[in-house]
Structure formats: structure tokens, C-alpha cells
Chain A
Amino acid sequence: MEKTNFELIEKRAKRRKLTTRILTYIMLVVWALVVLFPFYWMILTSFKSYSSYNGEYIPKMYATDPTFDNYKEAFQSVNLGRYFLNTIIFTVVTTLLMVAVTVLAAYAFARLDFKGKNLLFTLFLALMMIPNELVIITNFVTITNMGLRNTFTGLILPSVTSIFYIYLLKENFEQIPDELYKAAKVDGTSDLKYLFKVMIPISRPTIVTILILKVIECWNSFVWPRLITDNSLYFLVSNGIQEIRENGFGRENIPAMMAAVVVISIPLIILFLVFRKKIMEGVSRGGLKG
């Protein structure tokens, strides 16, 4: 009697465990579908021809006769190639400048001694609380007065500094043992040489993380480029998408729009799939969206 009771309880517990497990998986699969569906939809629509897209009152979940025409259209009637090139130039130059500025500043804070170091670093951290919206007004006026609207210089300069990355790298630099620095000093190595020969190689993983996060940020930037460019020769992809959306392809050509969206999204998705671990680790250490 006792034994069967025990078995019954165990059986019940097992069943309950199974139900929770199944419910968990159902929830996870549903959310995965919600996340993936817009991607599926844009790829699907980009392969539908203009006439078949508009002919389907009830949109089909597959393309009846897949076509690459939309991709041709996206590159031909809108200057998508140009937007792409602009974004690449903007991203590469901004990211490289950012890394240079960040490495130097982080090195000064982590290794070099100077008066008022702690005070200056506290001020740096306090600046992290300043929302971009507050300073963008003056930057807009500054860049306009300097005649730098619709130039790469105007686009890039205010986008360079990220205090958070200086902080992140400084923390990383500080983990490198002091003894190494002292030994190098005894050997007569200069500070700059020590930075390049020892610090940077050791901290390479963090630097790569910072690089990737900045690339994502640059690729998706929209607000500053929108303020500072009104000549479509200097549009970045985000502004290009907005332009396509508002002035389109002369007609509301949604499949071509979707082709443009796919083309714009692919580079970052590839970057993400390659550096998945690094990106997720970097973001969870304090990266913020926005």
C-alpha cells in the first residue's frame, strides 16, 4: 500500500515536470517565431515580383515564382550602392578613430601617473550620464556653422568618443600586472612602446569587442546623419531606408523596399553570427541600446 502511494506521487511529479517542460518549449518556440517572422517576411517579399505581390489579396507564405528583379531595382532606381559605401566609410573611419582615442585615454588612466587623475576620471564617468539629445543641439549648430553639413568630417567627428569604452578598456588594462610595466621601465622601454608591445596584445579580446560594438552602433546610426545630411550623396543606410520609404521607387514598390531592407540587414547579421559570443558578452557587460 505504502509503496504504491509513493509510486503514485512520483508518477504525478514526473507528469507535472513533463507538462512544464512541454509548456516551456512551446513558449520558447512561439517567441522564436515572433522574432524570426519579420526576417522571414522581408526575405520572402523581396523575392516576389511586383505584380504577384500586389495580386495576392491574401499574401502567400511562399514565393510562387522567385525573382531577383527587386534586388536589381533596389540598386538601380535608388542609390543603394552609394548609401552602402557611405556607411562603410563612416563606420570604418569612426571606429578606427574611436579605438585610437580610447586606447590612448584608457592607457593614461590605467598606467600613467598625473595630478588630478581620479578627479578627471570621475568627471569622465559623470559625462556618461549626459544623454545625447542634450548635446546634439549644439553639435548640430557647431557643425552647421563650420560648414561641415553633408561632409564625412561632419558626420564622423561628433560620433567618435564613447566614454563607456574608455572605462571598459581602462578596467582591462588595470588587470595587467604592474610588474610587467616596472620591468619594462627598467629595460628602458618607452611608455608608447610598452603600450603597443604589451598592453594592446594582451587586451586584444576587449579591443575587438569594443570594435564590434562600435561597428554595430555606426551601422545603425540614424539621428545624427539625418540632422547633418540632406544631400542623398551623403546618406547612410538608415537614412536611405527612410528616403526609400518616403519617396520610394516612384510607386509603392514594397518588394523592392524589402530587397533594400534585406541588403542593409545582411552585413550585421553575418557579423553577429561570426562574433556571436563576443557580441553577447560585450553587450551584457554594459552595452546599452540607444
Chain B
Amino acid sequence: MKKKKSNAIWYLLPALIFLGVFMVYPLFDVAVYSVEEGYNSASQTYNGIGIYNFRYVLRDPYFLQALKNTLILVLITVPLSTGLALLISLGLNSITKLKDLFHTIYFLPYVTNTLAVGLVFMILFKKTPYSEGFVNLIINMFGGQSVDFIEGPYWAKMLVMSIYTIWIVLPFKVLILTSSLASVNPDYYKAAKVDGTSGFRIFTKITLPMISPMIFYLIITGFIGAFKAYSDVVAIFGTNLNAAGMNTIVGYIYDMLYGDSGGYPSYASAAALILFVIVLTITVINLIVRKKNESYS
């Protein structure tokens, strides 16, 4: 018995070392950083312990801007992408011809490099002295005015950001929803057909209740993902997000840590903990609602 125990340790050791050094230790360390006031990364000294870093971050206009941007992005993209994914999945589920082809095409954005395709989106929306840009030409075709989507008004930038985010997150949602739609027991549909139930009623009374746990799961993961938005914003607006007024919470953390505005791991840690609290709250809500649902059924 004793021999077995020492045996298992050797198998677990690599994972324990990696997780210990790069996950568990940082977890405690980030908490320590966040309460060290006036931390100087050059001399590695600090003045005292307290909540000053949190107060600083919560008053920093850049953080507030980042928080606002992130919230708007979350509120726009999560409902829209989930709804759109549901619509597409229902369509996909109702056809037999070309189903595989569509399915494959829809999944493509998942495997592409966010930065690379973001550059293409930027070019499609960008207005330059040489060209109005593709999107503006379409707007002009319908008699609209050209807009500078990349360096122009706030709503225009937010619009590009939302469109790109939805484009990026949809493959995952469509994949999850189509597989959960396909797993609904066909007997229910047959029974409804015999009873002459209308299509709309079948959807609200059978389909929706059957896949609602998955929709809920997608909304939760969508919230968490959107709160962590960063790479896709960089892809469109470049690394100087504060100048573009398009920073996100995660972007703020990295800016505090690194680059021209960096060197403040304490502020970065405080901001990261604020983000963690937001994400944790959503996760807990998820767990509570799921428990409630389980007790009902």
C-alpha cells in the first residue's frame, strides 16, 4: 500500500509543479500585490498595506472608461450572439441538404487567428484618403453617409467591435446549440405532430424547454468571455487602447503591467481582482440557478 502511494506522487509531480508555480502561488501573490501600497517595481519596496490600490483603480478615468466599454460590449454581444446562434442552429437543424457544408463554414472563425482576421475587419471598415472602405461603400450605395469606423465616433467603434465579437463567438454557440437541438428526443416531435401542434407551439413548448439549460450555459460563458475581451479589441484598434478610448478591463490590467504605461503590478492586481469578483459572481449565479432548475425537474 505504501509503495503505491509514493508511486502516484511521481505521476502527479509534473502537474503539481506546473500548477503550483504558475497558478497557485500567483493566486496568493496577486492578493498580496493588490494590498501593497505605493509598490515600486524597481526597488521592490512598498509603503504600507491597505486598500489604496483599489480606490485608485476605481477612481482612474481609464479604468472607468474600460469598465463602461466592457459593460456595453457585454450587454450588446451576449443577447445578440445567443439569439442569432439560436436562429442559425434552428435553421441548420431543419435542413438535410448541405447541412455539413454550412456547419463546417460556420465553425471556421473558431480556428482562425483573432489578430489576423481582426486586421481584415479593420480594413473592411476603415476609411482612408484613398478609399472609403468596403462597408462605407455599401452604406453609400443605400444613400447613407460614410462613417470613420476605426477612428471616428464612439458608437461607430463600438459597432465594429460588437460585430467582430459576434462573428468570433458565434461558431462556439452554433456548435453547442446544434448538438443540443439534435439530441432532443424525436418522439416528442412525433407526438406533437400527431396532435397537430403548430410549429410555434412546438418551439416554445418542446424545443425551448429542452435546450434551455444549454442556452443558459451559453449566456453564462458568453458573459464571462465578453468580460475578458481583449485580443479582438487589440486586433481592431491596435495596442494603444486608451488613446482609442476603447480599452477593456483586461486591457487596463495589461497596460498597468507592461509597456509605456506599465510598471504598476499593484494596480494591475487590484483591477484583476475586481474582474475576478465580477466573473465569480456570474459563476455563482450560474450554480444557484442550475441547482434550482435541478430541484424543479
- Tally the A-B contacts, defined by beta carbons under 8 Å: 249
Check A32 against B102 for contact (C-beta < 8 Å).
yes
Main secondary structure of the interface of B (DSSP, over half): helix
**Interface residue B243 (Cβ < 8 Å from any Cβ of A):** no
Report B-chain residues with C-beta under 8 Å of the C-beta of A139: 22, 26
The CA-CA distance from A57 to B129 in the complex, in Å, is 9
Interface residues on B, range: 35 or more
Q: A28-B91, A39-B108, A140-B257 are in contact. Are A241 and B115 (CB under 8 A)?
A: yes
A266-284 interface bits toward B, Cβ cutoff 8 Å, 1 = contact, 0 = none: 0011011100100110011
Which residue of B7, B105, B225 contacts A112 across the interface (Cβ within 8 Å)? Answer: B7
Q: A108-B11, A115-B5, A283-B175 are in contact. Are A135 and B23 (CB under 8 A)?
A: yes
Check A105 against B11 for contact (C-beta < 8 Å).
yes
Which residue of A28, A42, A117 contacts B92 across the interface (Cβ within 8 Å)? Answer: A28
Q: A222-B231, A280-B175, A290-B228 are in contact. Are A241 and B169 (CB under 8 A)?
A: no
- Considering only residues 175-233 of chain B, those with a C-beta below 8 Å from chain A are 175-176, 179, 199, 221, 225, 228, 230-231
B260-286 interface bits toward A, Cβ cutoff 8 Å, 1 = contact, 0 = none: 000001001100110110011001000
Check B115 against A242 for contact (C-beta < 8 Å).
yes
Closest to B225 in A: A290
Leading 5 A-B pairs by shortest Cβ distance:
A138-B26, A135-B26, A105-B15, A108-B11, A114-B8
Closest to A40 in B: B120
Q: A283-B172, A289-B168 are in contact. Are A134 and B112 (CB under 8 A)?
A: no
Q: A115-B5, A139-B22 are in contact. Are A27 and B87 (CB under 8 A)?
A: yes
Closest to B172 in A: A289
Residue of B11, B29, B276 with most chain A CB atoms under a 10 A cut-off: B11
**Interface residue B18 (Cβ < 8 Å from any Cβ of A):** yes
Q: A56-B131, A131-B279, A133-B228 are in contact. Are A35 and B15 (CB under 8 A)?
A: no
Report A-chain residues with C-beta under 8 Å of the C-beta of B92: 28
Which residue of B8, B19, B26 contacts A161 across the interface (Cβ within 8 Å)? Answer: B19
For the complex formed, measure the closest distance between the CB of A169 and the CB atoms of chain B, giving whole angstroms.
11
**Interface residue A119 (Cβ < 8 Å from any Cβ of B):** no
Residues of B within 8 A of A (CB): 4-5, 7-9, 11-12, 14-15, 18-19, 21-27, 29-30, 33, 41, 87-88, 91-92, 94-95, 102-117, 119-124, 128, 130-132, 134, 137, 167-169, 172, 175-176, 179, 199, 221, 225, 228, 230-231, 234, 238-239, 250, 253-254, 257-258, 265, 268-269, 272-273, 275-276, 279-280, 283
Residues of A within 8 A of B (CB): 20-21, 24-25, 27-28, 31-32, 34-36, 38-39, 41-42, 45, 54, 56-59, 100-102, 104-105, 107-109, 112-115, 117, 120, 124, 127, 129-131, 133-142, 157-158, 160-161, 163, 166, 191, 216, 219-220, 222-223, 226-227, 237-238, 241-242, 245-246, 252, 254, 257-258, 261, 264-265, 268-269, 271-273, 276, 279-280, 283-284, 287-290
Check B30 against A242 for contact (C-beta < 8 Å).
no
Report A-chain residues with C-beta under 8 Å of the C-beta of B12: 104-105, 108-109, 120
Report B-chain residues with C-beta under 8 Å of the C-beta of A113: 4-5, 8
Check B108 against A223 for contact (C-beta < 8 Å).
no
The CA-CA distance from A276 to B105 in the complex, in Å, is 11
Closest to B34 in A: A137
Check B117 against A38 for contact (C-beta < 8 Å).
yes
